[in-house]
Amino acid sequence: MSPWYWLAILVVLVLVEIFTVALTTIWFAGGAFAALLTSCFTDNIVLECVLFAVVSLALLFFLRPSVVRRFNKRRAKTNVEAEVGKTVNVIETVDNAAGTGRVTVRGMEWAARSNREEVTFSVGDKATVIRVEGVKLIIDKEE
């Protein structure tokens, strides 16, 4: 395959990555680059395609996770994501069976439900936010 084909594929993949910033096509661009270099020295299309696939998948599965982790550290958490792990004050009895429960966290009032059906919280109790489901905080006993 002519090096020009691999160059065209490389350019398209890089442009797609620039416009989407999804950190997905850039790894295939790396595979296209490896195939481009190989096509300059050999005319074996099978070797070029295999190299493209192997390099692309290796970059995707081994390098992408660490790059995504590094970029996500700089991303600011949304208000909801920031509540997970916080300590809350119970201001209305949290009882899943009765469908009641209100808590405050960082000065804001939220509806709350217990992480375990059998566990209830009384007014004044402290708890930890386990997750957020819609507009409700799911809480559990403080550890």
Q: Give this prediction's pTM.
A: 0.52
Neighbours of 8 (CB within 10 A): 13
Please enumerate in sequence order all residues whose Cβ is within 8 A of that of 52, keeping only pairs 6 or more positions apart, or say none: 6, 28, 31, 32, 34, 35
What domains appear along the chain, each with residue ranges and CATH number? Answer: 3-74 (no CATH), 79-141 (2.40.50.140)
In order along its 143 residues, the chain shows pLDDT tens digits of 789 999 999 999 999 999 987 888 999 999 999 999 999 999 999 999 999 999 999 999 999 888 887 776 655 555 666 778 889 999 999 999 988 999 998 888 999 999 988 889 999 999 999 988 888 999 998 76
Q: Using the structure block, give the residue that is written with the tokens 């395609």.
A: 49
